[in-house]
Amino acid sequence: MAPALIKNIHYVDPVLPEQLPDSIIEKADALPAKVAFLDGILAPETGARLARLLQITNTYYSNMIEGQYTELVDMQRAQNAPRRERRLLQDLAVKHMQVQLIFERAIRMTPRAFTEMYSSYVRCTIDCLPEPRRMLFASATGGSWCPVSFEPSRTRR
């Protein structure tokens, strides 16, 4: 059964109030541990479908930031198209999704220590974080690597 095509972008729009309550920030801090837990119990097919949806969402926003605009329905259509048609749909968005998938496979194939994945500047920045934030990385110094986002965090007002 082919998935339904995405007809609008409202489901990927971020929804944030002007001020974030402490309870939300605490939940965000607990998120990496919950992600690891869910990864262990998630059915593989469900994980694969969620991964494809997140690839589309990530590509949409990455390309929007870079000044490229691609409709979600076009990205989804290209992702599910036969190989011959896919070549015709090879635009920046589809290439972005393919490169992202290659990076994800490479990370799974060659697990690395946290310190090998990031520059000394990033590691120094983490060392300078306030204690509660630094604790998020306390277990990341071992032999296995798990994805960590270094996007600018939203500050409390």
Please tell me the distance from the alpha carbon of residue 108 to that of residue 103, in angstroms, as a whole number: 9
- Could you tell me if 113 and 141 are in contact, meaning their C-beta atoms sit under 8 angstroms apart? yes
Domain interval for residue 57: 43-110
pLDDT the model gives residue 47: 82
Q: Record the pTM.
A: 0.38
Structure tokens at 56: 């589309």
Do 105 and 49 share a structural domain? yes
CB atoms within 10 A of CB 121: 8
Do 120 and 105 share a structural domain? no
Give the count of domains, the chain: 2
Do 118 and 103 share a structural domain? no
Question: Running along the chain, 157 residues long, what does each successive block of 10 average in pLDDT?
Answer: 66 67 83 82 84 81 70 69 65 74 77 62 64 58 45 43
Do 94 and 47 share a structural domain? yes
Please tell me the distance from the alpha carbon of residue 124 to that of residue 87, in angstroms, as a whole number: 43
Do 89 and 48 share a structural domain? yes
Structure tokens at 156: 């409390």
